[in-house]
Amino acid sequence: MICSHDRTMSPRVLIAVAMSLGLIGPASASAQTAPNAAPRPGSPDSGVHVSAVIFGGIGPSKFNNVDKGLQALEARYTSSGFPTVSGSMTNVAGAGHGGGGVMFSFGGSPVGVSVTGRAGNDTGPAMSALATRTAPPVSAHTGSEYDHFHFIGVSIGAPINIGHAVLVEPMLDLTKWSTTNTTFENVNGVSSTIATDRSGTDPGFGLRAAWFPTHMIGFGYDLHIIKLNDVAPGLASAPWQAFLEDTQSYFSVYLRWKR
């Protein structure tokens, strides 16, 4: 008697029957049963991938420790017998930067390595204090300010790709900067002024977070925190801190090319 079955054999049963008859080999069976196996060497997902990026941005720059210098300046006048002392400072201003670099990714790993260069400038901080007394009548005014900080820097980063559209990148920075510090003092109309060029090369760290709505164009945020070591002020009467901690924030646009 011949019986017919309406059910269709599963692919695994067919493969087992074909292997028993010698129609296919183990390699073909493995290809059928493991379609999600890891890519072989030489496949598009393996090896080193290189991408290039250029960027530019603007945002605020804040010098976090100017208040300590101003407090020391006001304390100096108070200890000298001035009953009336008033001070002011400027520690937030605009900044801009631009640059570019290369990023390396390895196989299917979401974490890579980057080398980035950037250049830009931001407005420096300022502080001043006015002190008066009536017996004997004395008026004293001291002010000290930094010109624009010009800087160039190199960053080594570890870009982390979150999906295909989001990039988070912590960075170690090495920044070379230059500026001019001008300090002036006026006591009862007699003034003195000293302008001194300053420069240095100091470490810091940064963080980049970017979103790429398209394959090439991205938008995001850069943060760089740098300790600008500058010990000697223009005049001893303007007690700046041993370093200026500069926090630079940028809202940036990125152009990226992947290879």
Q: Output the domain CATH number for residue 123.
A: 2.40.160.20
In a domain, residue 98? The reply is yes
Residues 21 and 57 in one domain: no
> Are 152 and 238 within one domain?
yes
**DSSP codes of every residue in 142-174:** EEEEE-PEEEEEEEEE--EEETTTEEEEEEEEE
Query: Are 157 and 243 in the same domain?
Result: yes
| 257 confidence band (pLDDT: 50, 70, 90) | very high
Is residue 25 domain-shared with residue 55, that is, in the same domain? no
Does 111 map to a domain? yes
* Same domain? 82 vs 184: yes
Contact 205, 245 (CB under 8 A): no
pLDDT at 23: 45
- Report the share of the chain in percent with pLDDT over 90: 58
Model pLDDT, residue 30: 47
Please check whether residues 19 and 76 belong to one and the same domain. no
59's CB contacts (< 8 A; 6+ apart) are 94, 95, 96, 248, 249, 250, 251
Please say whether the beta carbons of 198 and 181 come within 8 A: yes
**Would 195 be classed as within a structural domain?**
yes
Rounded distance between C-alpha atoms, residue 139 and residue 93, angstroms: 30
Same domain, 100 and 197: yes
Confidence band for 240, pLDDT divided at 50, 70 and 90: confident
* Same domain as 155, residue 55: yes
More confident residue, 161 or 14: 161
Full domain range(s) for residue 52: 48-258
- What's the mean pLDDT in 20-36? 48
- 3-state secondary structure at position 183: strand
Q: Are 179 and 124 in contact (CB under 8 A)?
A: yes
Is residue 235 domain-shared with residue 164, that is, in the same domain?
A: yes
Instruction: Indicate if the pLDDT at residue 20 is higher than 70.
Output: no
pLDDT digits (tens, 9 = 90+) for 124-158: 999 999 999 988 899 999 999 999 999 999 999 99
| Whether pLDDT at 7 is above 60 | no
Residues 32 and 126 reside in one and the same domain: no
Q: Does residue 43 lie within any of the structural domains?
A: no
The answer to whether residues 6 and 109 belong to one domain is no
Q: Is the domain of 207 the same as that of 150?
A: yes
Choose among 170, 231, 178, 232: nearest CA to 201.
178
Q: 247 pLDDT band (50/70/90 cuts)?
A: very high
Domain count, the chain: 2
pLDDT-derived band at 2 (thresholds 50, 70, 90) equals very low
Residue 190: both structure tokens together: 């007699």
Helix (H, G, I), strand (E, B) or coil at 235: coil
In the predicted model, is pLDDT for residue 163 greater than 90?
no
Work out the pLDDT band at 26, boundaries 50, 70, 90: low
d(CA 53, CA 61): 23
- Quick: pLDDT tens for 174-212: 999 999 989 999 988 899 898 888 899 999 999 999 999
- Whether the pLDDT of residue 8 is over 60: the answer is no
Predicted TM-score (pTM) of the model is: 0.76
